[in-house]
Structure 1
Amino acid sequence: MGACQTLHSHSQKPTPPSTSSSSSTNTGYFLRKTIGAWLACGFLSLALLHLLCCFPGGTKRVVFSPLLQYFNGTYSSVSSVPGGGQSCDYSEGQWVRAPGHARRYNATECDVKESEDCVRNGRPDTGYLDWRWQPAAPGCELPAFDAAAFLAAVRGKHVAFVGDSMARNQAESLVCLLGAGSPVAFRPRLVYRDEDPGVFQFRRWAFPSHAVTVSVYWAPFLARATGRVDDYHLRYSSVYLDTLAERWSAEADTMDVAVVSAGHWFLKWAMFYNGGEVLGVHMLPESNHTEIGFVTPFREVIRRSVERLVGGNAPGGARTVVLATLSPSHFEKAWDDPTTCARREPYKDGEKDVDGEAAELRRVVEEEASTAAVRNGGAARIEVLDVTKLATMRPDGHPGAYMHRDPFGPGKPEKMLNDCLHSCLPGPVDTFNEILLQLLTKR
């Protein structure tokens, strides 16, 4: 299956020339160096001409991008704006067609949640894998993910993803990208998982070759929560804003790189507590408590989470805290309609704006990151992984009905649960990790 094919890089070390005395006189079947050089240049020119003439634009960009980055001095680093020397802003841009760009791993081989393995589940169209993100800033490019560069950047470190199921989605993407782009000896090992194999709340992978650990901590509110968060049959979640979720906060000091990704659960029914008292509710008019919305509680837990991460001592030196912005869902019809997110291409630039809840949560993350950066005085590095715009423009990248195996096969129900929130793997979420790599390696 084309969408499952892993792209491998090949390298060969040139054989050193002979140093024996006969090498200068025995011309035999070897060409003279000058003639060989001219022939090599000729063949290379013909090959490049063939590529320019006969291959689609996306393929040419994928091939030439690393070469251009090399000559610009930006390979394995953040692209620089001409004349400014500043890092690129990846938050704005558009999706451009690039055949094969996202066909980088087989999700079935890297142990992802089956509901996000769209190819395995029979999704017939794979065009959603043929797009790449083009930043809007002049002169900026987003390099394709480089597994070797990522592992080198986090050698000896613990990379933790903390938050809701989008944090898990991105973590699984990262593990797949690292495994597919590395030699067999560098592949990850799953060293811990929930007792129930169908539960994906906590997982940990090890990359022994680089002493790297990647973990997922499922904490959808980041704070301690009970109720609906544990049992969908319950009406609402009870969220204790003054107490962070125990599992991740207890291990925060072990994290060298912490990617915090949350927001979706704050948009659901919830009762918020502070100091043992009800602070307010969201979407519970029958409760007789004050409606406080979702912005204030979200801001509070983001602030407390950053304080916890900044306040602890990282095992490998200064900690990097990455705050991810919201990746919105694309439900266009009822949740059980199999065509509720059936689009086949990204939105075009200007066709879909970032607004409403996504814009508000994005603003909170940006403001809290800025405030924390000033407050912590350089004790930790704080970055924003702004994926809201690029995710907003990808209604085609969700599993939809293909969260189920062969959903339109014989005997399947007409109505079914659809996933219009998470990304197919491989899929658009891989771009989150391309940007994460640039954040970790930028000057």
Structure 2
Amino acid sequence: MNPYGKSQTRKKTRKAAPIAALALLLTIPLYLSFTGDSSSSHQTFPSRAELHQCDLFSGEWVPNPDGPYYTNETCNAIQEHQNCMRFGRPDTGYLKWRWKPDACELPLFQPDRFLKLVRGKSLAFVGDSVARNHMQSLLCLLSKVAHPIEWSDPLGKQIQYHYKEHDFNISIFWTPFLVKTGILDPSLGRPFDLYLDEFDDTWSNQIAQFHYVIISAGHWFFRPSYFHLQRRLHGCLYCPEPDSNITHLTPAFAHRWAFRTAFRAINGAAGYKGVTFVRTFAPSHFEGGAWDKGGNCLRTKPFTRNETSLDEKALEFYTIQLEELGIARTQNRGRRFVLFDTTKPMVLRPDGHPSIYGHLPGAKLVMSNDCVHWCLPGPIDAWSDFLQELLRREVVGN
């Protein structure tokens, strides 16, 4: 599956991982970190608090007849391509589930409680359109009790929402590759230029002002790109040059470099004393073909853990994020990095995407069946349940 680039068939070198087995991967950032691309390794151990906290991200989706908690009529923060209610999605069962961790309860999002946790604080989302999807879900959940003042920079790379009565700000930084890039305009018809070892200063120079940062990225790394290291062309993905002229590399190569560089920017950010939540890759659910070969996502209920598996590319991205998180945790103990694992819960939600219900029938779109983003309201609202509990742990401990 290649959500954005040209279709490509690759020889499989790794079997898909059953969801139950993914719990083992969570030990990577806590106990064992890999340095560089070699086989050398070093150990880093979790705090006592981490050892005794319930794992929020291992569990199942269970029925929740009370959902949803907002609609497209009560929230104006829903973008068209996630507005499944407006565009006629006929089933509503996908709105009637909540996440239940195996070893504890995850409280549902309570906007008043959340705003008390974040009073006097600031929160930044750093990433791509799925990060924006998450932020808009949070805005909708908060809209039951509060409405912010919106501001954006002239280029639209940063948007801020100010909740004056609660002394709380939410910002989003548009940075789909996390690192310095060339012009991000797909209509130009050429690969993007990614400077994989250079910071994207549109966000890295500003994070010192934030108490909490949620960083994420994934699906854009499947787009055609040129990769630069030390200001020299190092290789490419889906580029037009023949193999003899340039090294053809994988999306995982750029994905690892991007997270390593982003974490280096955070560790080195002067004055930053906040908490960085590393939100892991939320997989897409194309079935019956790739995104550009008729693939779609028409299921109407979640999987159980034993019914599905994480495909090779998603597993590779997920593993890279865990490994790089482990490395980041060892490089500067003055910075706090927290795992925000959306991979394991969301691989079980093939029913939560817009599919054909993110646009009018017959609309001409690059991706006519959207199995990457999430309906609002929808299963992505559970991410705010996770965030509320993660923030509670930061404020009051376990």
Instruction: Mark yes or no: TM-score above 0.5.
Output: yes
Q: 1:416/1:313 Cα in 2 relative to 1: closer, same or farther (>3 Å)?
A: closer
Residue 58 (structure 1) aligns with: none
Q: 2:189 aligns with which of 220, 234, 249?
A: 234
Q: 1:385/1:413 Cα in 2 relative to 1: closer, same or farther (>3 Å)?
A: closer
Secondary structure of the residue aligned to 1:278 is strand
Secondary structure of the residue aligned to 1:371 is helix
Structure 1 residue 351, shift from structure 2 partner: 1.0
Matched, 1:426 2:383: no
Q: 1:415/1:173 Cα in 2 relative to 1: closer, same or farther (>3 Å)?
A: closer
Aligned ranges for residues 110-259 of structure 1 at < 5 Å?
110-136=76-102, 138=103, 140-180=104-144, 182=145, 187-193=146-152, 202-227=158-183, 229-259=184-214
Gaps of 5+ in 1: 1-83
Matched, 1:106 2:57: no
Identity of aligned residues (%): 36
| Structure 1 vs Structure 2 CA RMSD | 2.5
CA contact (8 A) 1:306 1:321 kept: no
CA-to-aligned-CA distance 1:255-280 (integer Å, 9 cap, x gap): 22110010111122211001210122
Matched, 1:322 2:277: yes
Secondary structure of the residue aligned to 1:238 is strand
Structure 1 residue 245, shift from structure 2 partner: 2.2
Question: CA separation in 1, counterparts of 2:330 and 2:290?
Answer: 44
Structure 1 residue 128, shift from structure 2 partner: 0.5
Secondary structure of the residue aligned to 1:327 is coil
Q: 1:268/1:337 Cα in 2 relative to 1: closer, same or farther (>3 Å)?
A: closer
Matched, 1:391 2:352: no
Q: Which is richer in helix?
A: 1
Matched, 1:303 2:260: yes
Q: 1:297/1:416 Cα in 2 relative to 1: closer, same or farther (>3 Å)?
A: closer
How many pairs align?
Answer: 341
Q: 1:299/1:166 Cα in 2 relative to 1: closer, same or farther (>3 Å)?
A: same
The residue type paired with residue 225 of structure 1 is T
The residue type paired with residue 417 of structure 1 is S
The residue type paired with residue 311 of structure 2 is D
The residue type paired with residue 281 of structure 1 is C
Secondary structure of the residue aligned to 1:110 is coil
Q: 1:440/1:146 Cα in 2 relative to 1: closer, same or farther (>3 Å)?
A: same
Aligned ranges for residues 259-270 of structure 1 at < 5 Å?
259-270=214-225
Higher RCO (CA < 8 A, seq sep 6+) = 2
Question: CA separation in 1, counterparts of 2:366 and 2:132?
Answer: 27
Gaps of 5+ in 2: 1-49
Question: CA separation in 2, counterparts of 1:167 and 1:215?
Answer: 11
CA contact (8 A) 2:204 2:269 kept: no
Structure 1 residue 110, shift from structure 2 partner: 3.1
Aligned ranges for residues 379-418 of structure 1 at < 5 Å?
379-405=334-360, 407=361, 417-418=368-369
Residue 286 (structure 1) aligns with: 241
Q: 1:336/1:295 Cα in 2 relative to 1: closer, same or farther (>3 Å)?
A: closer
Structure 1 residue 326, shift from structure 2 partner: 0.5
Structure 1 residue 331, shift from structure 2 partner: 1.6
Question: CA separation in 2, counterparts of 1:334 and 1:128?
Answer: 23
Matched, 1:312 2:269: yes
Structure 1 residue 336, shift from structure 2 partner: 6.6
Residue 350 (structure 1) aligns with: 306
Q: 1:303/1:335 Cα in 2 relative to 1: closer, same or farther (>3 Å)?
A: closer
